[in-house]
């Protein structure tokens, strides 16, 4: 339990610090935006407010992920972070569309900007967002934290672009530079968030983990001495870094005491080669017909004899 709790506590501290920094920057951009009558800075405040919400959502998810399993939530709350990442990525898609819409509107109706104030406040934004993104990078293996990291990285790039745009406007007077930069940033945000939406939807829909091939897992299990056939094989993700497997395994008739060696061999193979540590293996002495409870896709079914003898070797390794 300590192995899980320590990274979670570090993650929570980083997210708390990130929330405090982001809130301070939201207040600053809004106040300076009003004083400079700059729509760009007021928009930046709104943009960062969405980041504050994203970090808060991730903080709540990390809190829930740390909670142990119970009788109602037998797998615990491992998917809380995945759900938060999905919501964050969906809001990023909406945000990128809004930025692009506003930029196109600005191209049609140019708005005079005060580039000096833009550059000063944006420089503070780059420092703040860059600091938060660097802190979050350490935990970006978790899809929940990665969604927030991309939020903050996108903000760092967009505020850096505001500085570049402000300088260009200051020296050339070309106000169209600002909306063109915004469109490029919106495209980058959209591209990164679609990747997270696909990954999180795959987990939420119980899809095979994206870095695993079911055929490779089956071949590895069938290579274990004593295994005749592997069918009704299912592999899915509990969280972004935790995979589970359930399968029927056909073995030769033998005393139950001899089955444990085969079970250990399967579990060692799955753990060492695929990092699958939660397994449920059902041993059988004949094939399995669809009428006897197999639920694998048709091409994966193994049809055997009608005579059905089940030995249950359930393994739950954590």
Residues ≥6 apart with Cβ < 8 Å to 297: none
The pTM assigned to this predicted structure is 0.69
- The pLDDT assigned to 7 comes to 65
- The pLDDT assigned to 283 comes to 86
- The pLDDT assigned to 40 comes to 66
- The pLDDT assigned to 55 comes to 83
In degrees and rounded to multiples of 5, residue 49 shows phi and psi of -65, -35
pLDDT (tens, 9 = 90+) of the chain, 318 residues, equals: 444 446 677 878 888 888 898 898 888 888 887 776 666 676 777 677 777 877 887 787 777 777 777 788 777 777 777 888 888 888 888 888 887 888 888 788 877 767 787 788 888 888 888 888 888 888 877 777 888 888 788 778 777 877 887 788 788 877 777 777 778 777 877 887 888 888 888 888 888 888 888 899 999 999 888 888 898 899 998 776 778 899 999 888 777 777 788 888 999 999 888 888 888 888 887 655 544 555 555 544 444 333 444 444 444 444
- Domain 2-204 indexed as CATH 3.40.50.620: no
- The pLDDT assigned to 316 comes to 47
Query: What share of residues in the chain are helix, strand, coil (percent, to 5)?
Result: 65, 10, 25
**In 203-287, at which residue ranges do the beta strands (DSSP E only) sit?**
227-239, 242-251, 276-284
- The Cα–Cα gap between 144 and 318 comes to 22
Instruction: Return the CATH number of 214-313, one of 3.30.360.10, 2.10.240.10, 3.40.50.300, 3.30.70.1350.
Output: 3.30.70.1350
Domain assignments of the chain as residue spans, ordered by start: 2-204, 214-313
**Cα Rg for the chain, rounded, in angstroms?**
26
- The Cα–Cα gap between 275 and 316 comes to 14
Residues found in the chain: 318
**In the chain, at which residue ranges do the beta strands (DSSP E only) sit?**
227-239, 242-251, 276-284, 310-313
């Amino acid at each position: 339990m300590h192995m899980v709790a320590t990274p979670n506590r570090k993650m929570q501290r980083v997210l708390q610090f990130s929330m405090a920094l982001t809130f301070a920057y939201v207040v600053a951009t809004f106040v300076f935006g009003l004083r400079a009558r700059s729509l760009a800075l007021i928009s930046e405040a709104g943009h960062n407010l969405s980041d504050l919400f994203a970090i808060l959502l991730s903080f709540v998810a990390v809190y829930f992920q740390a909670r142990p399993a119970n009788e109602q939530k037998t797998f615990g709350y491992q998917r809380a972070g995945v759900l938060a990442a999905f919501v964050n990525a969906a809001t990023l898609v909406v945000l990128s569309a809004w930025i692009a819409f506003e930029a196109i509107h600005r191209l049609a109706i140019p708005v005079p900007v005060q580039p000096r104030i833009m550059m000063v406040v944006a420089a503070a934004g780059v420092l703040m967002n860059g600091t938060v993104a660097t802190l979050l990078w350490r935990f970006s293996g978790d899809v929940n934290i990665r969604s927030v990291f991309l939020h903050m990285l996108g903000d760092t790039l967009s505020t850096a672009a505001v500085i570049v745009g402000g300088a260009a406007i200051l020296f050339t007077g070309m106000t169209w530079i600002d909306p063109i930069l915004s469109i490029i940033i919106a495209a980058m945000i959209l591209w990164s968030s679609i990747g997270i939406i696909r990954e999180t939807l795959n987990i939420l829909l119980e899809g095979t983990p994206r870095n695993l091939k079911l055929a490779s897992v089956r071949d590895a299990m069938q290579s274990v001495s004593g295994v005749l056939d592997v069918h009704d094989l299912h592999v899915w993700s509990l969280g972004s870094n935790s995979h589970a497997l359930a399968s029927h395994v056909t073995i030769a008739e033998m005393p139950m005491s001899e089955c444990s060696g085969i079970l250990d061999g399967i579990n060692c193979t799955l753990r060492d080669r695929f990092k699958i540590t939660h397994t449920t293996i059902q041993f059988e002495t004949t094939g399995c017909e669809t009428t006897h409870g197999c639920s694998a896709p048709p091409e994966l079914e193994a049809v055997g004899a009608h005579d059905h003898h089940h030995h249950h070797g359930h393994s739950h390794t954590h």
